[in-house]
């Protein structure tokens, strides 16, 4: 698990096509797939219709005739939940890139972002500092979003098992008598589609003490490694009918 003795003299050759560091463009290309359009809006025809343009041009013997249609509106609503601090610090730049890519995109009906540390308990934080009191109760988050929001949780799922399983949780606020595991199950029961993007995810390698929580969360949520392929697969699942 990245111990110095384990990697001394180790030679690794990464496949740049899949394991390269994700950048803004790669995030944006992946999120373009996270689109679902409603019916045509009742506005002027300003969107170029490629198929109709080709048909009209062919029907006029090759003379170009542009055809337009009413634009459509994206109906996808997205909830982002970021793990901040601790073991996630090395991935701050990567998470910031993902955050910027989502908020610069113009193909979501709504985007909401909240934060947590290690595990989500009775509340989420409104800022990445995760300051005491600067939070929102989970039930209020449910009210502000809805079951149809597609949820992306970003975190390494690394914590001591007792922090995940005990009702005392961690030191960052009240848990209302439920363990982290119970709170995560509560969240899973509300939203229809949730994926977990993990920058350190290695399926099947859970012998390390701090990876026990990862194994339990991977059974609870669809967990993907935060790579090019992992991001594509997670978006594919979010947009699947089941």
pLDDT < 50: residue spans in the chain: 1-19, 207
Residues 194 and 238: their CA atoms lie apart, in Å, by: 7
Q: What is the pLDDT of residues 142-170, one digit of tens each?
A: 999 999 999 999 999 988 888 899 887 66
Percentage, residues of the chain above pLDDT 70? 81
CATH code of domain 4-36+75-238: 3.40.50
Q: What's the pLDDT at 169?
A: 67
* Average of per-residue pLDDT values in the chain: 81
Q: What's the pLDDT at 108?
A: 82
Q: What's the pLDDT at 11?
A: 43
- In 3D space, the residue among 101, 128, 133, 107 whose CA is nearest the CA of residue 117 turns out to be 128
Q: What's the pLDDT at 8?
A: 47
CATH 3.40.50, the chain: domain bounds: 4-36+75-238
């Amino acid at each position: 698990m990245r111990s110095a003795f384990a990697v001394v003299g180790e030679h690794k050759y990464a496949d740049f096509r899949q394991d390269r560091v994700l950048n803004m463009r790669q995030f944006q290309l992946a999120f373009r797939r996270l689109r679902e359009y409603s019916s045509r809006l009742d506005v002027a025809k300003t969107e170029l219709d490629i198929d109709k343009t080709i048909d009209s041009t062919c029907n006029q013997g090759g003379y170009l005739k542009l055809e337009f249609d009413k634009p459509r509106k994206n109906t996808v609503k997205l909830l982002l939940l970021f793990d901040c601090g601790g073991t996630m610090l090395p991935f701050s730049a990567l998470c910031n890139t993902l955050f910027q890519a989502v908020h610069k995109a113009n193909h979501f009906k709504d985007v909401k972002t909240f934060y947590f540390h290690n595990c989500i308990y009775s509340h989420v934080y409104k800022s990445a500092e995760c300051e005491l009191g600067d939070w929102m109760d989970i039930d209020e988050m449910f009210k502000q979003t809805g079951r149809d929001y597609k949820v992306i949780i970003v975190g390494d799922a690394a914590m001591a098992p007792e922090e995940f399983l005990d009702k005392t949780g961690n030191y960052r606020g009240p848990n209302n008598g439920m363990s982290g595991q119970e709170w995560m199950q509560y969240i899973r029961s509300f939203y229809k589609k949730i994926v977990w993007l993990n920058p350190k995810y290695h399926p099947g390698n859970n012998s390390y003490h701090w990876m026990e929580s990862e194994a339990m969360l991977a059974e609870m949520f669809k967990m993907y490694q935060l790579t090019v392929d992992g991001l594509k697969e997670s978006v594919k699942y979010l947009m699947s009918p089941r």
